[in-house]
Amino acid sequence: MTGGLLAAHGLPKLFGGTDKRPPSALSSLLGPNYAPAWEKSGRANFAQHLGQMGIPLPELAATTSGVAELAGGIGLMVGAATPIASAVSAANMAVAVRQAHWKSGLYGQGGYEFPLLLGIAAMAIGLTGPGRVSLDRLFA
C-alpha cells in the first residue's frame, strides 16, 4: 500500500498537467479527486511550485521527486530493489516534510503527517525486507 500511494503521487508529477487526464482505470480506482489533482500537477506546474518555495533547480527537483515517488513506489509495491526503493522513497518524503509541509505543522491540511507516515513506512519496509511475496525474494 505504501508503494502504491507513493506511485499514485509520482505519476501526476511526471505525466500530469493542464489539459491532461489520468488513465480512466486510475481515476476509477483512486476516486473523483484524482483527475483534478492530475490536471493541477505535471512537471512544469510542480517545478513552478517548488521555485516559489525557494527550492534550487526546481525543474530538476520536480523531475527527481516524481521519479523517486513513482520508481520508489513501484519498487516497494512489488518488492524489487527494496533497500534502494526504500531509501529513495524515505529520502524524498524527508525532503517533502522539511521543505514543503513543515511550516503547516504536523496535523491538518498541508501538514506533514502524511509524508512523514509514508517515509517511515518506506523505511520500515527497507529495514524489515519486502517479505515472501516479492521480486527480491523470487530472484534471490
Answer yes or no: is 81 within a domain: yes
Q: Count up the domains in the chain and report the number.
A: 1
* Domain annotation covers residue 91: yes
* Residues 110, 46: Cα–Cα separation, whole Å: 15
In this structure, is residue 66 part of a structural domain? yes
Q: Which structural domain, as residue segments, surrounds residue 114?
A: 2-14+42-138
Category of 80 on φ-ψ map: left (φ > 0), alpha (ψ -120 to 50) or beta? beta
Residue 99 domain-assigned (yes or no): yes
Q: Could you tell me the three cell numbers for 133? A: 511475496
Cell numbers describing residue 139:
530472484
CA pair distance 87, 123, nearest whole angstrom: 7
The span from the CA of 64 to the CA of 9, in Å, is: 13
33 assigned to some structural domain: no
- Residue 119, pLDDT score: 98
For residue 12, give the nearest of 30, 29, 35 by alpha carbon.
35
Look at residue 36 and tell me if it is in a domain.
no
Q: Is residue 30 part of a domain?
A: no
73: its cell numbers: 513506489
Please indicate, yes or no, if residue 32 is contained in any of the structural domains.
Answer: no
Q: What is the mean pLDDT of each run of 10 residues along the chain (140 residues)?
A: 97 96 94 95 96 95 98 98 98 96 94 97 96 92
Euclidean distance between CA atoms 47 and 19, whole angstroms:
17
- pTM here is 0.92
